[in-house]
Amino acid sequence: MEYDARPAPWRVGLPVNEVTFLPPVASGAFYTIDTFWAAAGVAGTVFAAFLAAWAAFRSTHPKRRLKYAVSHRPLVQQDMDGSLEIRHNGTLLSAPHLVEVVLTNAGRRDIASGAFDRGDPFQVDLGVPYLKVLSTESHPGTARVPPVDTRGSCLTIGPGLIGRGTTITCLLLVDTTPVYDCRHSLVDVKVQHIVGTSPRRIIRPPLTRTT
């Protein structure tokens, strides 16, 4: 039996003019385009939902950030060999130092009094036998300074409002070289320790000096 290599219409005996030849179809072209736009629509919906959720989260959890720095230097740039005595309010100081504590609200929102969990203040334990607050100030000058106090060897700040962009500076007089241990109970506030700063100025406290 011989193989008939003629096209199908001729093999079945149909006249060529009665056979309809369909134009070639680009297989997968329309399918690929439809799939692309469907996927793009799904991705757009998911992205919009993500943005809405992120905006809701940011509105309920605004970014608050507090930076702090602690630095110190000797009050007298010479050895206390006994030939010089320094007293503050009658208290003899063996190795007096000036300490500067700086807090800055670097976030986009105010840090409210309610951010201090259980009303606990921001604390800086200096580990010294004598501690006296010489001055406190805020920048800008119109900003109110939260309550500042001392508890033994600790400086406490707050609870109180620390406005956006506000910097609080406390200058302290201590005896012996201080060490720093900072503790806080701030809620929804990122606290960052800035290392390597130094006091911007030295304010001489009222001292009684005898030789």
What tens digit of pLDDT does each residue of 166-182 get? 999 999 999 999 998 99
Alpha-carbon separation of residue 205 from 75, 89, 181 (angstroms): 10, 10, 25
- Band of the pLDDT at 210, cuts 50, 70, 90? very low
Is 158 in the same domain as 139? yes
Number of H helices, E strands in the chain: 2, 12
pLDDT at 85: 81
Residue 9 lies in a domain: no
End residue of a domain, out of 40, 61, 82: 61
Q: How far apart are CA 175 and CA 153, in angstroms?
A: 10
Residue 205 lies in a domain: yes
In the predicted model, what is the mean pLDDT of residues 6-15?
55
- Band of the pLDDT at 8, cuts 50, 70, 90? low
End residue of a domain, out of 14, 31, 61: 61
Range of the domain at 55: 22-61
What tens digit of pLDDT does each residue of 113-127 get? 999 999 999 999 999
Is 198 in the same domain as 108? yes
Residue 202 lies in a domain: yes
Average pLDDT, the chain: 79
Count the domains in the chain.
2
Q: Which of 156, 179, 185, 203 is nearest to 70 (CA)?
A: 179
Is 110 in the same domain as 45? no
Is 106 in the same domain as 54? no
Is 75 in the same domain as 165? yes
Residue 26 lies in a domain: yes
Statement: residue 3 has pLDDT above 70: no
- Band of the pLDDT at 152, cuts 50, 70, 90? very high
Is 50 in the same domain as 125? no
What tens digit of pLDDT does each residue of 42-84 get? 777 777 776 766 555 555 555 799 999 999 999 987 766 667 7
